[in-house]
Chains A and B, each alone.
Chain A
Amino acid sequence: MDYFIELFFSGLTRGSIYALIALGYTMVYGIIGLINFAHGEIYMIGAFTALAAATILSFFSLPLPALLFLSLAAAVIWASAYGYTIEKLAYRPLRHAPRLSPLISAIGMSIFLQNYVLLAQTPDFLPFPALIPEFAFLAPYAGVIGSSDLVILLTTAVIMALLSLFIKFTRTGKAMRATAQDRTMAMLVGISVNRVISATFVVGSALAAVGGLLIASHIGQINCFIGFIAGIKAFTAAVLGGIGSIPGAVLGGFILGLTESFATGYVSSDYEDVFAFSLLVLILIFRPAGLLGKAAPEKV
């Protein structure tokens, strides 16, 4: 039973990270129907920014929580700026182009960002400081759940709740939903669609940056290629939950994380990915739009 709980928590931790990144994929897809392949790189850039900020700030001998929040703020702002710029440079000019063009542009952006960081920073692995404090009250349970697991879970839960409130009740949130439903109609009722799309990219990138900082602090190392696998897995999670659906992305992330964890624990980690992707195939056979996705009729 203990073993089950341990695996459950490690699956939840992994799932939370997938969910945080998957939200960015799903929000962007929901609004402009584009799979933003550069999103994984935003996660990587968030982690790198946090590392730079933490390294500079560590000279001021700040307490650990202050260090964490300042690095987080730096990562979120910088990654959001990247998200905003990418949208403006790589996707907005292609807004009315065939669907394939922005997709290719996204893949190009992803490769560009990976190599940019590789050249500007380093191709090596870098150590990442443990920004998440070790809680004394968790020490007896260190084998089951670590401080960073707990922080990752709680942060993800809080962010999900805030995001739902944001989408549901704020002006921008409402505008996002309207744009997702029908872009032309939203424009007709006076919504500045371009601004809404930019806001979506900014929010999605901020979430990815949070994910980047949390996981980097959890495992203690980063390099310029971490965004690739994390991005692929998060994209899978988004598709699993139904791409375009926000609760779906969260559910998909958790399901994927737990499947991987239990597959490793009870079968073999050799087959971790096999189980994860078999599950994806099965779900898509029975629910082609994903778990919570709506099979919307093609708008004419």
Chain B
Amino acid sequence: MTFCRFALYLAFALVIVFPTPLRAADTIKIGIAGAHSGDLASYGLPTVRATELVVKGINARGGINGRQVELLIEDDVCKPEIATNIATKLISMGARVVIGHICSGATKAALPIYRDAGVIVISPSATNADLTLNGDYPNFYRTIFADNIQARTIVDFTVRELRAKKIAVIHDKGDYGKGLAEFAKTFVEENKTVELVLYEGVTPGAVDYSAVVQKIKRSGADAVIYGGYHPEASKIVTQMRKKKMGTAFVSDDGVKDDTFIKVAGAFAEGVYATGPVDVSANSLGRSAREAHRQEYGTEPGAFFDNAYAAALVLTNALAKAGGTDAEAMAGVLHTEDVETPFGAFHFDRNGDATGTTLSMFRVENGRYVPIKQP
């Protein structure tokens, strides 16, 4: 018993004294923070693998400006309170650049700590619009479309391509759906050529939505913009089509899911939804995915392409800035185009990627088919 406890203390002591193996003195440390265990691990792990692939290639070619790159991987389980600890830990371990975090909430909690320490953060997946728009975090960048950009794409598409004059905006009252719908509402109202005829939230999981569908019909809308996830969207679309309404249905990446097509069946035909760009047309995207298959034997998961892009732009900035000086790196990130699976892009004033990582899809013959954007 005493021995057991002694061994336990010893083990703890060793962990504290030697947190990581001794390493070569002069490496560049990149922090990777995100959910690597728990419910949301499937969102975080692909980012680790994408970064590992990029860094492995760089180290094999002699590193960045002769310095090897080392990854510090930390799990925040997508919880804000853990994310702040992780941020402090990464900084104390010497990370001057971080890829992550994965969830918007955790990212938001960790950002002030990184900002105060002058650490550059690039997230592959945090879409909350405020993170870049409110201007509080000049050190924050992301390689995924923000919710407001998604809403802008949806509204522009509905107005220009579908030539809708009267638009109804419906959402599911959730953080994501309502947030997106609020942006869509603002954009529709700003545009003087179209009219917002209806703005409503529906209760997720309700027995049916026929009353709200009747309301859409009476509003005379040419197009419905829906913010939310696929279960409610498929119910609304099904009931609209059953009532012989031809109203266009345009939605977000919560609906761009194959389950939506499976459930709504024939009624899904002709539904529009935005989602991440299909990178299979891009040679860099293809080779990244191929490398993942060879290295790990599986298909890459969520946000892999976005994380791969983040790792590429970050290592490029490290190389061009000649070190981890935050200001020099920011200069590179804001101005220099880097080839990524999504094509070449740099970051705008707010820290959002300038190129398009977002495209519009339409359901045709039971599949989401990308629509060419002009």
Residues in chain A within 8 A of chain B (CB atoms): 3, 6-7, 10-11, 13-14, 17-18, 124-127, 142-143, 146, 148-149, 215, 218-221, 223, 225-226, 228-230, 233, 260-262, 264-265, 268-270, 272-273
Contact = CB atoms under 8 A, between A and B. Distances in A.
Contact of B242 (A6, A146, A215): A146
A230 B207 contact: yes
A142 B243 contact: yes
A52 to B, nearest CB: 17
B202 A269 contact: yes
A146 B211 contact: no
B210 A265 contact: no
A17 B263 contact: no
Interface stretch (B78-86, B127-135, B227-235): B227-235
B203 interface: yes
A10 B263 contact: no
Interface residues of B, number: 32
B239 A219 contact: yes
A21 to B, nearest CB: 10
B238 interface: yes
Given A220-B238, A261-B211, 18 more contacts: A13-B208, A13-B210, A125-B234, A127-B263, A142-B242, A143-B217, A143-B243, A148-B242, A219-B208, A219-B239, A221-B231, A221-B263, A223-B231, A225-B205, A264-B215, A265-B215, A269-B201, A272-B211
Interface of B: 173, 200-203, 205-208, 210-212, 214-215, 217-218, 230-231, 234-235, 238-239, 242-245, 259, 262-265, 267
A130 to B, nearest CB: 9
B231 A6 contact: no
Nearest to A2: B218
A18 to B, nearest CB: 8
Contacts of A146: 242-243
A261 B211 CA distance: 5
A138 B235 CA distance: 21
Nearest to A211: B207
B214 A3 contact: yes
Contacts of B234: 125, 220-221
Contacts of A148: 242
A62 B208 CA distance: 28
Contacts of B215: 264-265, 269
A18 B202 CA distance: 19
A6 B211 CA distance: 8
10 contacts: A7-B211, A10-B208, A125-B263, A146-B242, A219-B207, A219-B208, A219-B235, A220-B234, A264-B212, A268-B201
Contacts of A268: 200-201
A269 B173 CA distance: 10
Contacts of B210: 10, 13-14, 149, 261
B231 A3 contact: no
Max count, chain B CB within 10 A of own CB: residue among A7, A126, A265, A269: A269
Contact of B201 (A218, A261, A270): A270
Nearest to A225: B205
Contact of B263 (A11, A220, A265, A272): A220
Given A125-B259, A269-B201, A7 B214 contact: yes
B173 to A, nearest CB: 7
A226 B211 contact: no
A126 B262 CA distance: 8
B230 A269 contact: no
B200 A215 contact: no
Contact of B203 (A13, A142, A225, A273): A273
Nearest to A3: B218
Contacts of B230: 125
Nearest to B213: A10
A219 B231 CA distance: 11
A268 B203 CA distance: 11
Nearest to B201: A270
Contact of A142 (B201, B202, B206, B244): B244
